[in-house]
Structure 1
Amino acid sequence: MTTSPPDLDFIRSLEERALNAWPALKTALCGGWQLRLADGYTKRANSANPLQPRVAFAETLQVAEDFYGSHGLPAIFRITPLAPADAGPVLEQAGYHMIDPTQVMTVTLAARNWPANEVLIETTASQEWSEGFAQANGLSAMARPAHERILAAIAMPTAFATLTIAGRAVAYGLAVAENGMVGLFDIVVAPAARRSGAATTLVTALLNWGQVQGASSAYLQVHVSNQAAVALYGKLGFTAQYQYHYWTKP
């Protein structure tokens, strides 16, 4: 049985959308890789990401290590199917190890199902949304400034959603629309409200918002180890497209 080669153009289109949706505070381009900086907040915004690699990976490795070292950060590589085949072996030989395998999933959006009244959609991150998200996600006070700067840097249409049940905000998330697709990020439910259907209600509201923006499909990124979230998105019709993972030194 043969396996079809990955559709690199489709993968690149998703990667570009995701990079736009979760912007770094500073970026540099190097041989077809995007080197991202955001004060160390999240690996997504502080890692080397392949787009159209044009040089030997050993050269990229050295440039990235020098780049991140000059900013007082460790070099982290986010390896997707766009990375050259020798990236993994070179990183392993250099003392890196692989962590956080993550699945990229997509779904074709069906007819609109307007969100329930208890989901508030805002176009900017209000103080209430930021504080509620930080509390529900266990975000430290030190990390909040970088998180808020990343959110403020998003250039595409964005929805910040808050789900309220019985007068209490219990779930938060955001969606970013771009060129016919909507991406979901930062979906979090307060511990006391988990496994209650809150995540489904919140995600449905964000998908409906995306359709209003002209999106016909949606994408998201979820850790493979988060089986509850993978199962939830599967029930909503999302299917896996490809995986990526990070390489970092101990």
Structure 2
Amino acid sequence: MDFTTGGRLVVRITAADVGKRVSVRRLADGAGPAEKFTDTVGVLTSWDAGVLRITRRSGETVRVPEDTLVAGKVVPDAPVRRRGPAADAAELVRAGARAWPPIESEPLGDWLLRASGGFTRRANSVLALGDPGMPLDTALRRVTGWYAERELPAYLQAAPGAEAVEEALAGRGWTREVAVRVRTAALAPLADTDADAAPDADAGAPNGTRRPRDGSGTGGGTGAADGGGTGRVRLSRDIDAAWMSRYQRSAEPSPEALAVLRGGPSVWFATVPGDAGAPPAAIGRCVVDGRWAGFSAVEVDPAARRRGLARAVMAALARRALAEGASAAHLQVEVENRAANALYDRLGFTTRHLYHHWRAPREDAR
């Protein structure tokens, strides 16, 4: 890996390169007189307070103190994959969970308890992936007690392979409330679906309505199918009041909602401005996580539907994700959201699996 100019190591990156794929060399931890080096390749997701953060394709984030940096350069993007992604259900479940990081979490064996003040079930449910490490009835008592302490209803997200758990929940009075499709697509064709969109990328500092207390609703949909035509899409690293004014999943911008929406390895927000003084015509969110780009919060003003705005938003976000080294797209959409599912059909998304959210009997929460 050539970092040299005239035989000398050179740092050829700056904070202006945030969002680009880079290769850096730094002094290894505890390096002695021999000055041993460590190389890292990935997307430069931030450069703040003397620390670089680089996200590898695996999703791992590497922290590089600026004073250990001895060389660095921008490198070409990884080869674009145009076929649908190969992935097992567990990988998709984990990628989806990282796209909606909870404010508070606690392991229960292989399960994960998650709470975020009631904003979105995905950040306020136990993720039942694997074995809780104890008898099921004991685990469910731990679950209901944990959420009762936080004055939240107890929800369980049943991952694929948890059919025995779901059968047990039904027999214990739990209620299945939501069925969600997990859908995937190759990212490059999605980026090509709207060649006219011209995103105004803001590569500023990266990110690190209140939903009803019962956590109702699951994102990932637009209210109507979209046809041709586009609007100008602006991309930003953070949420502003205008974006939140279009977001229909939260009655007010609570601290929990903002923290969850901003959470994830590399988060981008898309906005199509509306008329002067009006909320945006369309919005969207994308979390870039290694090879994955997770789409959510794609919403369009009812008066601006059938103009291709949802398509334009997703294309702009897809191009940004491709630039950061992602190659595959995923999203979650409720089975009953027919308009959104029809749009995603046309954009090349296929359903990989379904999952359900189950709610504990109310008496169990006391």
| Cα drift, residue 95 of structure 1 | 1.2
Equivalent-residue separation in structure 1 for 2:113 and 2:137 (angstroms): 15
2:331 is equivalent to residue 203 of structure 1: no
Match of 1:158 in 2: 267
Please list, as runs of the form range in 1=range in 2, the aligned pairs for 1:217-236 lying within 5 A after superposition: 217-236=328-347
Q: Secondary structure at the match of 1:158?
A: strand
Q: Identity, % of aligned pairs?
A: 30
C-alpha deviations, 1:137-171, integer Å up to 9, x for none? 16313x6332112123x141111000136666211
The question of 1:76 aligning with 2:155 is answered yes
Higher normalized helix content (fraction of residues)? 1
- Pick one of 182, 185, 188 that aligns with 2:293: 182
Distance in 2, Cα, partners of 1:190 & 1:166: 11
- Taking the aligned partners of 1:139 and 1:149, their CA distance within structure 2 comes to 13
| Counterpart AA for 1:116 | A
Cα gap change, 1:51 to 1:115, in 2 (>3 Å): farther
Normalised by the length of structure 2, the TM-score is 0.60
Cα distance between partner residues in 2 of 1:81 and 1:57: 17
* Larger Rg computed on CA atoms: 2
Q: 2:158 aligned with 1:45, yes or no?
A: no
Residues 1:103 and 2:186 are matched in the alignment? no
Whether 1:116 and 2:197 are equivalent positions in the alignment is yes
Q: Point out where structure 1 has 5 or more consecutive residues left out of the alignment.
A: 1-8
Q: What CA distance in whole angstroms lies between the structure 2 residues aligned with 1:82 and 1:24?
A: 23
Cα 1:75–1:54 shift into 2, 3 Å: closer
SS in 2 for 1:139: coil
Structure 1 residues 190 and 71, CA, compared in 2 at 3 Å: closer, same or farther?
same
2:246 is matched with 133
Kindly provide the amino acid, as one letter, of the partner of residue 172 in structure 1: I
The residue type equivalent to 1:146 in the other structure is E
| Contact residue 177 and residue 183 of structure 1 kept, 8 A | yes
* 3-state SS in 2 of match to 1:74: coil
Which of 242, 254, 257 lines up with 1:147 in the alignment? 257
What amino acid sits opposite 2:272 in the alignment? L
Structure 1's 228 and 108: CA in aligned 2 closer, same or farther, altered over 3 A?
A: same
Q: CA contact under 8 A between 1:129 and 1:162: conserved in structure 2?
A: yes
Kindly provide the amino acid, as one letter, of the partner of residue 122 in structure 1. Answer: S
Match of residue 64 from structure 1 = 143
Offset, 1:182: 0.3
CA contact (8 A) 1:115 1:204 kept: no
Q: Which amino acid aligns with 2:338?
A: Q
Q: Which amino acid aligns with 1:149?
A: A
Query: Structure 2: which amino acid aligns with 1:198?
Result: L
How big is the shift at 1:52? 2.4
Which residue in the other structure is 1:242 paired with? 353
Cα distance in 1, alignment partners of residues 99 and 158 from structure 2: 18
1:107–1:239 Cα contact (<8 Å) kept: yes
In structure 1, what is the Cα distance between the partners aligned to 2:307 and 2:267?
Answer: 26
CA distance in 1, matches of 2:249, 2:128: 30
Q: Secondary structure at the match of 2:107?
A: strand
How many pairs are equivalent? Answer: 236
1:29 paired to 2:29: no
Aligned AA (2:174): Y
Given that 1:106 and 1:220 are in contact with CA atoms closer than 8 Å, whether structure 2 keeps it comes out as: yes
- Cα deviation for residue 82 of structure 1 reads 4.0
- For residues 31-82 of structure 1, what are the alpha-carbon distances to aligned partners after superposition, in whole Å with 9 as ceiling and x for unaligned? 2111100001111111010232243432321110111111111111111214
Q: Which ranges of structure 2 fall in alignment gaps of 5 or more residues?
A: 1-86, 199-231
Distance in 1 of aligned mates of 2:136 and 2:304: 45
Q: In the alignment, is the contact (CA less than 8 A) between 2:188 and 2:322 conserved in 1?
A: no
Kept in 2: contact 1:58–1:90 (CA 8 A)? no
